[in-house]
Amino acid sequence: MACVDDVHETEYKCEFQLKYGVNPHQDQSHIWSMKDSSLPFKILNGKPGYINLMDALNAWQLVKELRESLNVPAAASFKHVSPAGAAIAVPLSDKLRETYELGDKELSESALAYIRARNADPKSSFGDFAALSDTVDLSTAMFIKTCVSDGIIAPGYDDDALAILSAKKGGKYIVLEADADYKAPDVEFREIFGVVFSQKRNQLLINEENSLQRIVTKNSEIPSGARRDLILAAIALKYTQSNSVGFALDGQMIGVGSGQQSRVDCVRLAGGKALVWYLRQHPRVLGLKFKKGTKKVARLNARIQFIEGEFTPPEHKAWALNFDEVPEPLTSEEKAEFLKKFRGVSLSSDAFFPFRDNIDQASRFGVSYILQAGGSVQDPSVIGACDEYDIAMALNGIRLFHH
């Protein structure tokens, strides 16, 4: 079929050169904007690279959509063009404050959102690109100062926050100011191997009205907090490499499974991360006695290793150096007992579940609520599996593949 809309033929203008592309040997890399347009961001500090900007632009779209849909400050922690975590500003329980090592410090809503996003999968967030939907204040900047992070994008910065962030990494921390009023073109273009693709941008705003009206299970009760979490997870997946499945609880992602060819593998991957997130709150994990002077990142990694418990002899030797007295392993029985309380998790999928094994696996990870597209010939079997586990599931007919 011939192209019928010549108005979408486009030209680009070169804005600036990058140090290199995705890899150092891919030189001659540049950033271009659309003809008669401008970039949707300004560089306030640092020198961004190719991957930095891919992360920044996807992360900014994610938090902007969360803000618009849920009307609460939002944040994301991106690595390699998928969110390690995303969240909105919801107050933290005393247990999570202890788990996240926050003490009793006062936190702004933006700080709450980023702290939650960063703690979905903190191991993966190491060296992230942060995104905030609202102006970055001192509270948020002070937390980011303590994190290993490459850069940030937000619509604005208080003067004291900008000064702190601009000094990070010896003055090389990347600070981008997003243009909150920027309107992206309706049609987007992408070139692969000399072939140019074009399509209408995915401009559909995910919200309760278009996503949670068709509950198909015997259990039709989805409380307000779970409805919020389902929308949060769905919006996060809209900007996650497919296939993808996300777990959310209390206003934050707690596990993202992305880029898998098999959807049930996404469930297992995201579920495994969710279990680690929950087990970080186990009394024995919180009670680990570290040597004086052990750094924050080392404490975090040691706790996760303690939970996972899968050491080679050299790994165990290095791990044991964090403690004056090496703790006894966290047993399978202790984990299982603690995980009995793990309930109320919301799961969203970027496309339909092709088989009931996705539900069988989800049931292992505290899932009580599901949002997915539906439309598979296996829908009756999948719905039946949800009924067996008393899971409430909504179908919205919206596929959210992202590549």
Q: What is the pLDDT of residues 154-208, one digit of tens each?
A: 999 999 999 999 999 999 999 999 999 999 989 999 999 999 999 999 999 999 9
Task: Note if the bond before 202 is cis, omega within 30 degrees.
Answer: no
On whether both 219 and 304 belong to a single domain, the answer is no
Which pLDDT score is estimated for 155? Answer: 98
- CATH code, domain carrying 347: 3.40.140.20
CB atoms within 10 A of CB 328: 7
Q: List C-alpha distances in Å: 175 to 44, 116, 154, 216, 332.
A: 5, 21, 8, 45, 44
296 and 275 both lie in a single domain? no
**Do 369 and 241 share a domain, yes or no?**
yes
Contact (Cβ atoms closer than 8 angstroms) between residue 226 and residue 400: no
Same domain, 269 and 320: no
Is the residue at 31 inside a domain? Answer: no
Same domain, 126 and 255: no
- Interatomic CA distance for residues 89 and 108, integer angstroms: 9
Q: What is the CATH number of the domain that holds 318?
A: 1.10.287.440
Query: Between the CA of residue 222 and those of 123, 215, 230, 234, 369, what are the distances in Å?
Result: 31, 9, 10, 15, 7
Alpha carbon of 269 to those of 12, 54, 161, 163, 231: distances in Å? 39, 24, 36, 38, 20
Q: What's the whole-model pTM score?
A: 0.95
Q: What's the full length of the chain, in residues? A: 403
Res. 117 pLDDT band, cuts 50 70 90: very high
Query: Percentage of the chain surpassing pLDDT 70?
Result: 98
Please give the residue that has the higher pLDDT: either 260 or 2: 260
pLDDT-derived band at 6 (thresholds 50, 70, 90) equals low
Q: Which of 178, 197, 214 is the last residue of a domain?
A: 178
Q: Is residue 1 part of a domain?
A: no
Residue 393 is predicted with a pLDDT of 98
Q: How far apart are CA 172 and CA 364, in angstroms?
A: 43
Say if residue 336's pLDDT is above 60: yes
Whether 230 and 293 map to the same domain: the answer is no
Phi, psi of 171 (to 5 degrees): 90, 5
Tell me how far apart the alpha carbons of residues 386 and 42 are, in angstroms, rounded to a whole number: 47
**2 falls in which pLDDT band (50, 70, 90)?**
low
Check whether 5 has a pLDDT greater than 70.
no
Is the pLDDT confidence value at 102 over 60? Answer: yes
pLDDT at residue 105 in the model: 87
Domain assignment present for residue 218? The answer is yes
pLDDT tens track for 343-400: 999 999 999 999 999 999 999 999 999 999 999 999 999 999 999 999 999 999 999 9
Same domain, 68 and 100: yes
Summarize the confidence of residues 5-27 as an average pLDDT: 83
In whole angstroms, what is the distance from residue 316 CA to residue 134 CA? 42
Task: Give exposure, 351-370, as e/b (b: 16+ Cβ within 10 Å).
Answer: bbbbebbbbebbbbbbbbbb
**pLDDT higher than threshold 60 for residue 329:** yes
The yes-or-no verdict on residue 34 having pLDDT over 90 is no
Residue 37 pLDDT > 60: yes
pLDDT value for 1: 53
Number of domains in the chain: 3
The Cα 49–Cα 36 span in angstroms is 24
User: Is residue 72 in some structural domain?
Assistant: yes
Q: Are residues 174 and 234 in the same domain?
A: no
Are 215 and 312 members of one domain?
Answer: no
Which backbone phi and psi does 23 adopt, to 5 degrees?
A: -125, 155
Task: State the catalytic residues.
Answer: 79-80, 243, 403
Task: Tell me, yes or no, whether 309 lies in a domain.
Answer: yes
Residues 240 and 374 in one domain: yes
For the chain, the maximum distance between any two Cα atoms, rounded to a whole number of angstroms, is 72
Residue 321's domain comprises: 288-329
* 186 within some domain: no
**% of the chain with per-residue pLDDT over 90:** 91
Question: What are the backbone dihedrals phi and psi of residue 175, each rounded to the nearest 5 degrees, phi first?
Answer: -125, 115
Burial group, residue 189, by CB count within 10 angstroms (0-12, 13-18, 19+):
middle
Question: Can you tell me the distance from the alpha carbon of 104 to that of 98, in angstroms, rounded to the nearest whole number?
Answer: 9
Query: What's residue 8's pLDDT?
Result: 59
Higher pLDDT: 138 or 325? It is 138
Q: What CA–CA distances, in Å, run from 224 to 68, 120, 227, 369, 389? A: 17, 21, 5, 12, 21
